[in-house]
Chain A
Amino acid sequence: MNLLAQQLVNGLFIGSVYGLFAVGYTLVFGVLDILNLAHAAVFTLGGLSAVWLVQAAGMSIWLAFPLATLLAGGLGLLINAAAFAPLRRRADSQFSGLISSIAMAIIFDAAALGLFGARSVRFPPGTVKVHVWQIAGVTITSLQVGIVLVATLLMLILTLFLQRSRTGKAIRTVAENERAAMLLGVNVSGIIAFTFFISSALGGAAGVLYGLYFDSLAPDMGRAIELKGLAVIILGGMGSIPGAILGGLAFGLSEVLTVAVSGTSNLRDAVAFTVLFAILLLRPSGLLGRGKLREA
C-alpha cells in the first residue's frame, strides 16, 4: 500500500513536469494549428543552460532558473523567425513548418552537443537544499514539492494570462481566426512571435525542473520527453491548455503505476502509450478536446 502511495506521489511530480512541457507544446498548436517539433530541443537547451549558469557562472538556481527560462523563450523567437514565419504565406505551411521545425531541432541538438558536451551532467550538489519528509510511510522531498509548486504556478499564471489579460485575449483571438484578429487591429505576426516565446520559455522551464528532478541532464534528454509530450497533448485534446495539464498528470501516473504493479520498468512506456490509444478510442478528440473535427 505504501509503495502504491509512494508511486502515486512520484507520478504527480513527474506528471507536473510533463504537463508543463506539454502546455507549451499545445499552446503553439492551439494558436497556429502547427506542431513545433523543436520544442523538445528547447527543453534540453533550457535544462543544460541552467546547469551551466549554476556550475560555470556560479549563479544561484533562483537566478539561473528564470534566466534559462528567458533564454529558452528567446530560442522560441528564433524558431518562429527561422522555421515558421518565412513559410506562413505558403498554402502548405503546416507541413513545411513541421519539417523546418525538425531542422531547427537538429540544429539545436547539435548546438547542445557542441556547447555542453556529450556526457550527462548534473546540478552541483547543494544547488537546492533538500529536506526529506516521511509522511505516513511516503517519502517526499522539498525538491519534489518545489517542482510541483513551480510547475503548477507557471501553468496557473499562463491560464490566468490567457483568460484575463489584453495580450492573452489577443492570443486567443488569433487562435480563433487570424483574419478576424487582423481586422480587429491585432498585430498578428507579433502575437505569434510572442506565443512562441511563452511556449518555449515554458518548455525550457520544464527542462530545468526535469533536470533537477532526475539529477541528470544530457544532450539527448529531449528524446525521452518528445513523444511523451506529443502523447500528452493528444491525450488532453490538441490545443487545450487544461487538457495538457490533465494529460501530463494522467501520463505521469500511468507510468509510475505500471512500474508499481508490474514491478519492472520495462513496460512503462508501453503501458503509457496503450493508455493513450485506449482514451482516444473512447474520446477521439482527447480528454478536453474541443470535439472539432478538421475538414479535410
Chain B
Amino acid sequence: MLEVHDLTVSYGPIEAVREVSFRVEAGAVVSLVGPNGAGKTTALNAVSGVIPARRGRILFEGRDITRMSPHQRVSEGIVQIPEGRLVLAGMTVRENLEMGAYRRPRPEIAASIDRMEARFPILRERSGALAGTLSGGEQQMLAIARGLMAKPRLLLLDEPSLGLAPLIVRLIFEIIRELQAGGQTILLVEQNARQALAVSSHAYVMENGKVVLEGPAESLTSDPAVISSYLGQAISSPT
C-alpha cells in the first residue's frame, strides 16, 4: 500500500532522514522504532506531506505522491494522528470530531460521530466541552477518534503512548489491536519498542536518520542486538 524509496528529508543543512526505504502492506501494522531523534517522526511527516522530501519517492497504492499537498493526501486516505495529540483546544469535542471528517462528504459525518462516540463513550459525555479541558488520556482518545473520522486507508500513528499513564498506554495498544483486527493498515512510530513490536507484523529500526535493521517483528524481538539496545532485560519474562 505504501512504498517509500530512498527518502531523504532535511531541515536546512541537517539531514534528519537519509535514504530510508520502507513499505507497508495493506492490512499490516508496521512500526518504526528507535531512539529519540532517530528520524522516525520526520519520516512519518514526509509521508503526510507536512515536511517535503528532499530526495526519494513515496508511492501510495502504486501512485507517486511525493509532491502531493498534505490535504490531498488526507483525501487519498493517508491520515496522521500526531505526536502530542494536537487537539483543537479552543473548540468543542464534537467540533474536533467534525474536523476529523473535514475531507469527507457532509451527509456521512453525523453517523460517523455516533459510531465514534459509541466506541469512546467519554467523548459523548464531554461532547460540548472544550477539548483543552480534557485530561491527557482523554485528549489522546479524542485524537485517535478524530483521526479515524477521516476514514483512513493508511493510519499513521506518531508516538501514541508518549507521556501517558501506564493504564492509558495499555488502553491505546488495545485500540491498535482492535483496529488491526478490523483490517486497518497502520504505520506506527514508537519509542516504546516492546509494545510496538508486540502489535506489529514487521518493523524497521532507525538510528541517526537511517534504517539500521528491519524484519518481521517476531524475529526482531528475539534478536540479541535489538534486545540489548531497545528492549532491555525484561524481555526474558513472559508477556
Q: Which residues of A contact B (CB under 8 A)?
A: 166, 169-170, 172-173, 176-177, 179-180, 182-188, 290
* B49 to chain A: closest residue by CB: A182
Contacts of B75 in A (CB 8 A): 185
Known: A169-B91, A169-B98, A173-B91. Is A180-B50 also a contact (CB below 8 A)?
no
Q: Which residue of B lies closest to A172 (CB)?
A: B91
Quote the shortest CB–CB distance from B68 to chain A (angstroms). 12
Question: Which of chain A's residues have a CB closer than 8 A to the CB of B106?
Answer: 166
A166 to B99, CA, bound (A): 8
Partner of B70, one of A169, A176, A182, A290: A182
Q: Give chain B nearest CB distance to A66 CB in angstroms.
A: 28
Which positions 147-193 of chain B face chain A at CB distance < 8 Å? 150
Q: Is the CB of B71 within 8 A of A186?
A: yes
Contact of B88 among A166, A177, A290 (CB under 8 A): A177
CB distance from A31 to the nearest CB of B (A): 12
Residues of A within 8 A of B98 (CB): 169
> A183 contacts which of B50, B89, B91, B95 (Cβ < 8 Å)?
B50
B88 touches A173 (CB 8 A): yes
| Contacts A166-B106, A185-B102 given; does A176 touch B150 at CB 8 Å | no
- Interface residues contributed by chain B, number (CB under 8 Å): 25
Q: Which of B69, B89, B90, B150 contacts A184 (CB 8 A)?
A: B150
Instruction: Identify which of residues 122-169 in chain B touch chain A, using a CB-to-CB cut-off of 8 Å.
Output: 146, 150
Q: Once A and B bind, how many residue pairs between them come within 8 Å at the CB atom?
A: 62
Is A170 touching B102 in the complex (CB atoms < 8 A)?
yes
A166-B106, A177-B88, A179-B86 provided; 5 other pairs, C-beta below 8 A?
A: A169-B91, A169-B95, A173-B91, A176-B90, A184-B100
Q: Which residues on the A side are within 8 Å of B146 (C-beta)?
A: 184
Q: Is B31's CB within 8 Å of the partner chain A?
A: no
B91 touches A176 (CB 8 A): yes
Chain B residues whose CB sits within 8 angstroms of the CB of A187 once the complex forms: 69, 71
Interface string of B83-126 (1 = CB under 8 A from A): 00011111100010011101100100000000000000000000
| Residue contact A182 to B90, C-beta cutoff 8 Å | no
14 A-B pairs with CB atoms under 8 Å apart are A166-B106, A169-B91, A169-B98, A172-B90, A172-B95, A177-B88, A180-B86, A182-B70, A183-B80, A183-B82, A184-B74, A184-B146, A185-B74, A186-B99
Within 8 A of A (CB), among B46-97: 48, 50, 69-71, 74-75, 79-80, 82, 86-91, 95
Chain B residues with CB under 8 Å of A179's CB are 50, 82, 86
Residues of A within 8 A of B90 (CB): 172, 176, 290
Would you call B89 and A176 a contact (CB within 8 A)? yes
In the bound complex, residues from chain B placing their C-beta under 8 Å from that of A172 are 88, 90-91, 95
The CA-CA distance from A188 to B72 in the complex, in Å, is 12
Point out the residues of chain B lying under 8 angstroms from A184, CB to CB. Answer: 74, 99-100, 102, 146, 150
- Decide if A186 touches B102 in the complex (CB within 8 Å): yes
Q: Are B103 and A185 in contact (CB under 8 A)?
A: yes
Residue in A closest to B70 when the chains form the complex, CB atoms: A182
A179 and B88 CA atoms in complex are apart in Å by: 11
CA distance A188 to B102 in the complex (A): 12
Which of A169, A172, A180 gathers most chain B CB within 10 Å? A180
| Chain A neighbourhood of B99, CB < 8 A | 169-170, 173, 184, 186
Beta-carbon nearest neighbor of A290 in chain B: B90
Minimal beta-carbon separation of B97 from chain A (angstroms): 11
Bound CA–CA A78/B150 (angstroms): 33
Which one of B50, B87, B100 contacts A182 once the chains associate, using CB atoms below 8 Å?
B50
Complex alpha-carbon distance, A180 and B96, angstroms: 11
Question: Which residue in chain A gives the minimum CB-CB distance to B132?
Answer: A176
- Across the interface, which residues of B come within 8 angstroms of A169, CB to CB? 91, 95, 98-99
What is the CA–CA distance of A110 and B89 in the complex, to the nearest angstrom? 43
Contacts of B88 in A (CB 8 A): 172-173, 176-177, 180
- Per CB-CB distance, the 7 closest pairs between chain A and chain B, nearest first, are A185-B74, A180-B86, A185-B103, A176-B88, A182-B70, A185-B71, A187-B71
User: Nearest chain A CB to B11's CB is how many angstroms away?
Assistant: 12
Once A169-B91, A169-B95, A172-B91 are accepted as A-B contacts, the answer to whether A183 and B102 lie under 8 Å apart by CB is: no
Bound: A185/B49 CA distance, A = 11
